[in-house]
């Protein structure tokens, strides 16, 4: 009888190799599909679930709708939002609101009555500054009275928008000698991958001169090669802001942080 074990082992190894390769390719296809959907704005964060309001009580106060649900917001078109929580004194005594604590400096609560008589109520106005970066939003408010703290909540999502961002986020030229020319590559994107109509960069700095030496545009991102030449009259560590200017409406410009340390040239020290 012929020995077929080698043949069988070879077939099994071939089978494993083929399917491993297919699964590897499939994983890349799926990953590419995800990024493509993100690029065209089809795939976003999971939509926030519908908020079921449940009244909260504390410190003599009651709020029947303690959650402000933002839903999905374009923070470029709507950078600031406001909302009013309704607070009711359900106790038999006057309730004094001592302070309203916010979990984020981007959220301010004001314009409310500090003294509530039994059965009385007030509207608590909340102003919220949204970030441009797409992300989940969750902030807390704590209404402090003499006998307790009433919790309130803000939830939602900042959707993909036309705001610009760069990779890297900061252009660091490192150490540059006087008279030396240095280059750094930066890629610009919009969070919703919409086109960028680049015009130029601007800086008010008198210490260094920035120029765009090269630009590549692939439709949804722009690659810039930014060059810097140090001024011989200044030495030290400097931080600057380059303004990236576009002709797009709505969100035309973007501030790009720059860091550089200027030193005297080695030839000048000799």
User: What is the CATH code for 164-269?
Assistant: 2.60.40.10
**In this structure, are residues 87 and 106 in contact, taking their beta carbons and an 8 Å threshold?**
no
- Name the pLDDT band for 215 (thresholds 50, 70, 90): confident
What is the distance between the alpha carbons of residues 70 and 51, in angstroms, rounded to a whole number? 10
Per-residue pLDDT for 92 more than 60?
Answer: yes
Q: Cα torsion for 202, 207, 211, 213, to the nearest 10°? A: -150
Per-residue pLDDT for 258 more than 60?
Answer: yes
Tokens of 192: 């919703």
* Most confident segment among 48-62, 92-106, 208-222, 237-251: 92-106
- Name the pLDDT band for 206 (thresholds 50, 70, 90): low
Fold of 56-158: Immunoglobulin-like (2.60.40)
**In this structure, are residues 260 and 176 in contact, taking their beta carbons and an 8 Å threshold?**
yes
- Name the pLDDT band for 59 (thresholds 50, 70, 90): very high
Percentage, residues of the chain above pLDDT 70: 78
What is the distance between the alpha carbons of residues 236 and 30, in angstroms, rounded to a whole number? 49
Per-residue pLDDT for 23 more than 70?
Answer: no
What is the distance between the alpha carbons of residues 7 and 20, in angstroms, rounded to a whole number? 20
178 to 39, 166, 207: CA distances (angstroms): 42, 27, 11
Per-residue pLDDT for 192 more than 70?
Answer: yes
Per-residue pLDDT at 213:
76
């Amino acid at each position: 009888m012929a020995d077929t074990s080698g043949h069988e082992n070879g077939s099994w190894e071939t089978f494993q190799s083929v399917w491993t390769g297919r699964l590897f390719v499939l994983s890349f296809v799926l990953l590419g599909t995800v990024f493509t959907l993100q690029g065209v704005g089809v795939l976003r964060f999971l939509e926030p679930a519908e908020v079921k309001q449940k009244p909260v009580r504390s410190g003599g106060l009651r709020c029947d709708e303690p959650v402000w649900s933002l839903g999905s917001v374009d923070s470029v078109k709507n950078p600031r939002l406001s909302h009013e929580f309704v607070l009711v004194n359900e106790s038999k005594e006057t309730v004094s609101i001592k302070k309203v604590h916010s979990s984020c400096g981007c959220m301010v609560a004001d314009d409310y009555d500090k003294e509530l008589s039994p059965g009385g109520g007030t509207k608590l106005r909340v102003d919220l500054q949204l970030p441009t970066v797409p992300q989940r939003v969750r902030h807390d408010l704590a209404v402090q009275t003499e006998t307790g703290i009433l919790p309130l909540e803000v939830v939602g999502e900042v959707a993909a928008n036309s705001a610009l961002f760069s990779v890297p986020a900061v252009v660091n030229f490192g150490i540059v000698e006087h008279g030396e020319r240095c280059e750094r590559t930066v890629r610009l994107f919009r969070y919703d991958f919409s086109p960028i109509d680049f015009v130029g960069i601007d800086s008010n700095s008198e210490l260094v001169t920035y120029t765009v030496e090269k630009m590549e545009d692939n439709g949804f991102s722009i690659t810039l090669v930014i060059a810097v030449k140090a001024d011989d009259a200044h030495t030290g560590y400097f931080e600057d802001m380059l303004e990236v200017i576009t002709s797009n409406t709505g969100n035309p410009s973007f501030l790009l942080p720059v860091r550089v340390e200027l030193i005297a040239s080695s030839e000048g020290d000799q």
